[in-house]
């Protein structure tokens, strides 16, 4: 069976998995701090950042795209509602979306090597 | 019907008494019943209704409302919290006061649609900084989510110095004298309510207090139990005390806290626990504790877990399972915040050894992080197995202080070993 390597940058663990494995199936077992709620692409809780190898992951479905859009909006509105420059800078630093591609861990399948991390 | 009602000249209690209530939300005992508090705020240009009551008590609510306002005067309806005991009479109230605007917190929007199955229900989402004018009185909103649902908020009327706090500062206590200086001794109910409702959300409590503490307060009007007009600040201070981690308050040298729990019939799992502690002790910057689950009731241990950064749980396998004291401990975590804490499992077994795997699954189910696969030892731990335990303790410790080792593993190891 074809294999791929996924590295979870927050815990420094690289796992060799059969292609087609979903991120959620691996991340929970290695203790990566990607959180879950609905596990079916609805809530956006499991959004994570792709550090490398975005092209090696499954293409996002319509559902995933809609949830991601909603989640981006929430983050940005969250920033908007902060009332000091320091608080906004801190939130942006924490979420650090700049230049990163985000996906849902409960939806995304691994087809080739990649490096991922929680937001 | 005579119930103390005037919070101030402009604000009246129009809620409902439910003295017969004995169990609330499945998890709470209510030996003195409860009240559902809703309030009527009068401004020079209209009236606001803050929260409603549970549907079964609609008669009380509408009868009291009518004593203080006409439906045509109602300009604003505020729901500080959507749980049915506060939103139950909303549809009927909107039917009677169709001109009124409904205000809910931003995070309440989706929930509102799921709770009030009514097409075209119009509402205005509000957050901290937003306000609504009733002429010479103002409603100011504070976004205080997760107390104890995602949707919760507080509403403040600055001209009256009254805070409508929703379930925050509330308790289940039914006394028609309604004010904290007039009712019976409700201290137990207040503490009990915090412990069972707010405790898992302590961080959110602290966020909310940051918004509440600067307010000038003549009274706090919660959605259950007595209205706090006598020394309202004392209750705010008590919330801060209850929500602040004690360990960090008493001694904080920056150490990370790791607690090893175990239970053991022949001492095998205990030996493992000791070796794990020895291993973790090699990592600097850790505060380590070792507890035998047999030696204590669950509650104080849950208190420890609440403030710990990491926990490890050891159980032998008995009849194909981890033992009951372990499950008793784990099933008590619902009352505290454990998501994101580091955790792990270990244990001795005789032939099948299911316990470690089952504990790990449960820890993950609680959204704890299980960064190092648990250790299982067949019967009495041999020298090299003791070393494996030490390694396990050290690895967890290093993960905890952010000094993890780089690992490369195959998926099959995760599936079988975990
Ligand atoms: C009543 C009883 C039932 C047991 N059931 C199992 C079992 O189902 N599977 C297993 O692997 N070991 C089982 N064992 C063996 C224990 O797990 C083993 O003796 C272990 O080393 C005990 O560790 P401890 O000294 O830490 O309690 C059982 C032992 C007893 C006394
Ligand atoms: S867990 Fe809800 S979207 Fe993935």
Q: Under the phi-then-psi rule, with left for phi > 0, alpha for psi from -120 to 50, and beta for the rest, what region is B26? A: left
* pLDDT score for B334: 86
Name B172's Cβ contacts closer than 8 Å, sequence gap at least 6.
B21, B24, B28, B30, B32, B33, B34, B189, B192, B193, B224, B225
Q: Is the distance from the beta carbon of residue A61 to the nearest atom of ligand 2 less than 6 Å?
A: no
Q: Under the phi-then-psi rule, with left for phi > 0, alpha for psi from -120 to 50, and beta for the rest, what region is B298? A: alpha
* pLDDT score for A45: 85
Task: Please give the backbone phi and psi of residue A20, each rounded to the nearest 5 degrees, phi first.
Answer: 100, -15
SS3 B334: helix
Q: How confident is the model at residue B417 (pLDDT cuts 50, 70, 90)?
A: very low
Give yes or no for B408 touching A (CB within 8 A).
Answer: yes
Distance B269 CA to ligand 1 centre (A): 10
Taking the CA atoms of B372, B378, B381 and B382 in sequence, report the sign of the dihedral they define.
negative
Beta strand pairing call for A47-52 and A114-118: antiparallel
Give yes or no for B392 touching A (CB within 8 A).
Answer: no
Residue B155 CA to residue B383 CA, distance in Å, equals 63
Whether residue B418 has pLDDT greater than 50: no
Residues from chain A that touch B410, judged by Cβ atoms under 8 A, are 15-16
Mean pLDDT of B209-233: 97
Mean pLDDT of B225-246: 95
Give yes or no for A36 touching B (CB within 8 A).
Answer: yes
> Taking a C-beta distance cutoff of 8 angstroms, is the pair B251, B362 a contact?
no
Name B344's Cβ contacts closer than 8 Å, sequence gap at least 6.
B310, B311, B312, B313, B360, B363, B370, B371, B372, B374, B392, B396
C-alpha dist (Å) from residue B370 to A38, A69, B142, B327: 20, 30, 37, 17
Q: For chain A, what is the mean pLDDT?
A: 87
Pick the closest to residue B317 from B288, B355, B277 (CA basis): B355
Give the pLDDT confidence of B124-173 residue by residue, as tens digits. 999 999 999 999 999 999 999 999 999 999 999 999 999 999 999 999 99
Give the pLDDT confidence of B7-52 residue by residue, as tens digits. 999 999 999 999 998 988 788 889 999 999 999 999 999 999 999 9
Nearest CA owner, ligand 2 atom 3: A41
User: Quick one: which atom of ligand 1 is closest to the CA of B262?
Assistant: 26
Residue B273 CA to residue B271 CA, distance in Å, equals 5
Percent of chain B with pLDDT over 70: 97
Pick the closest to residue B35 from B211, B175, B164, B137 (CA basis): B175
* pLDDT score for A7: 95
Pick the closest to residue B344 from B388, B393, B409, B417 (CA basis): B393
* pLDDT score for B416: 60
* pLDDT score for B85: 94
- Residue B141 pairs in a beta bridge with B155
* pLDDT score for B400: 92
Give residue for tokens 């795997």: B357
Q: Is the distance from the beta carbon of residue A24 to the nearest atom of ligand 2 less than 6 Å?
A: no
Give the pLDDT confidence of B283-333 residue by residue, as tens digits. 999 999 999 999 889 999 999 999 999 999 999 999 999 999 999 999 999
Ligand showing the shortest atom-to-Cα distance for residue A41: 2
| CA-angle at B366, arms to B303 and B168, nearest 5° | 55
Here the ipTM equals: 0.72
Cβ within 8 Å, pair B404-A12: yes
Neighbouring CB atoms inside 10 A of B302's CB total 18
Stated pTM of the model: 0.71
Q: How confident is the model at residue B2 (pLDDT cuts 50, 70, 90)?
A: low
Eight-state DSSP code of residue B241:
H
Q: How confident is the model at residue B249 (pLDDT cuts 50, 70, 90)?
A: low
Residue B312 CA to residue B263 CA, distance in Å, equals 12
Ligand showing the shortest atom-to-Cα distance for residue A68: 2
C-alpha dist (Å) from residue B123 to B40, B48, B49, B108: 19, 14, 14, 10
Give the pLDDT confidence of B250-271 residue by residue, as tens digits. 667 788 999 999 999 999 999 9
CB-defined contacts A:B, below 8 A: 56
Whether residue B73 has pLDDT greater than 80: yes
Whether residue A34 has pLDDT greater than 90: no
C-alpha dist (Å) from residue A91 to A47, B230, B247, B337, B415: 16, 39, 27, 22, 36
Å from B406 to nearest chain A CA? 5
- Residue B17 pairs in a beta bridge with B35
* pLDDT score for B415: 74
Task: Report the Cα–Cα distance between both ends of chain A, in Å, rounded.
Answer: 31
- Residue A6 pairs in a beta bridge with A15, A114
- The string over A28-47, giving b where at least 16 C-beta atoms fall within 10 Å of a residue's C-beta and e elsewhere, is bbbbbbbbbeeeebebbbbb
Cβ within 8 Å, pair B404-A11: yes
> Taking a C-beta distance cutoff of 8 angstroms, is the pair B48, B77 a contact?
yes
Nearest CA owner, ligand 1 atom 25: B266
* pLDDT score for A96: 66
Strand (E) or helix (H) holding B47: strand B46-50
Name B341's Cβ contacts closer than 8 Å, sequence gap at least 6.
B305, B308, B309, B310, B311, B368, B369
Residue A107 CA to residue A63 CA, distance in Å, equals 9
The tokens for B110 are: 């989706």
Taking the CA atoms of B291, B295, B300 and B306 in sequence, report the sign of the dihedral they define.
positive
Taking the CA atoms of A70, A75, A80 and A83 in sequence, report the sign of the dihedral they define.
positive
Give yes or no for B339 touching A (CB within 8 A).
Answer: yes
> Taking a C-beta distance cutoff of 8 angstroms, is the pair B386, B367 a contact?
no
Whether residue A10 has pLDDT greater than 90: no
Å from A81 to nearest chain B CA? 8
Residues within a 6 A CB radius of ligand 1: B 264-269, 316-320, 348-353, 379
Beta strand pairing call for B153-157 and B342-349: unpaired
Give the pLDDT confidence of B354-380 residue by residue, as tens digits. 999 899 989 988 888 888 889 999 999
């Amino acid at each position: 069976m074809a294999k791929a390597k996924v590295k979870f940058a927050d815990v420094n663990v690289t796992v060799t998995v059969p292609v087609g494995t979903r991120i959620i199936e691996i991340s929970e077992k290695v203790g990566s701090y990607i959180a879950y709620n609905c596990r079916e692409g609805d809530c956006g809780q499991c959004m994570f950042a792709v550090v490398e190898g975005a092209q090696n992951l499954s293409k996002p479905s319509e559902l995933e795209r809609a949830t991601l859009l909603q989640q981006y909006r929430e983050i940005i509105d969250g920033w908007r509602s902060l009332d000091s420059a320091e608080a906004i800078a801190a939130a942006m630093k924490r979420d650090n979306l700049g230049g990163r591609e985000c996906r849902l861990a409960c939806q995304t399948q691994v087809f080739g090597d990649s490096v991922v991390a929680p937001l | 019907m005579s119930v103390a009602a005037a919070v101030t000249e402009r604000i009246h209690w129009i809620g409902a008494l439910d003295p017969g209530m004995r169990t609330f939300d499945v998890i709470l005992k209510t030996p003195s019943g409860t009240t559902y508090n809703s309030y009527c705020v009068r401004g020079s240009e209209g009236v606001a209704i803050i929260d409603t009551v549970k549907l079964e008590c609609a008669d009380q609510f509408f009868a009291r409302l009518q004593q203080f306002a006409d439906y045509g005067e109602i300009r604003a309806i505020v729901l500080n919290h959507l749980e049915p005991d506060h939103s139950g009479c909303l549809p009927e109230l909107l039917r009677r006061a169709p001109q009124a605007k409904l205000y809910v917190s931003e995070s309440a929007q989706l929930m509102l649609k799921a709770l009030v199955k009514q097409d075209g229900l119009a509402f205005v989402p509000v957050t901290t900084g937003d306000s609504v004018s009733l002429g010479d009185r103002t409603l100011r909103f504070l976004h205080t989510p997760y107390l104890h649902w995602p949707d919760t908020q507080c509403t403040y009327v600055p001209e009256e110095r009254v805070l409508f706090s929703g379930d925050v500062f509330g308790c289940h206590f039914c006394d028609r004298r309604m004010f904290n200086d007039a009712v019976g001794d409700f201290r137990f109910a207040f503490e009990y309510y915090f412990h069972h409702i707010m405790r898992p959300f302590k961080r959110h409590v602290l966020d909310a207090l940051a918004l509440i503490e600067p307010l000038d307060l003549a009274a706090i009007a919660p959605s259950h139990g007595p209205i706090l007009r006598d020394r309202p600040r004392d209750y705010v201070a008590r919330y801060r005390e209850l929500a602040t981690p004690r360990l960090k308050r008493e001694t904080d040298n920056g150490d990370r806290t790791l607690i090893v729990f175990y239970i053991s019939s022949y001492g095998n799992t205990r030996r493992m626990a000791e070796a794990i502690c020895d291993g973790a002790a090699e990592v600097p910057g850790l505060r380590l504790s070792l507890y035998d689950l047999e030696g204590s009731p669950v509650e104080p241990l849950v208190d420890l877990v609440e403030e710990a950064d990491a926990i490890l749980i050891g159980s032998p396998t008995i009849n194909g399972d981890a033992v009951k004291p372990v499950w008793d401990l784990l099933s008590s975590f619902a009352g505290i915040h454990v998501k994101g804490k580091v955790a792990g499992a270990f244990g001795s077994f005789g032939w099948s050894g299911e316990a470690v795997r089952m504990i790990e699954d449960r820890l993950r189910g609680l959204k704890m992080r299980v960064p190092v696969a648990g250790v299982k030892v067949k019967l009495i731990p041999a020298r090299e197995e003791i070393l494996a335990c030490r390694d396990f303790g050290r690895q967890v410790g290093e993960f905890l202080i952010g000094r993890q080792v780089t690992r490369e593993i195959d998926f099959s190891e995760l599936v079988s070993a975990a």
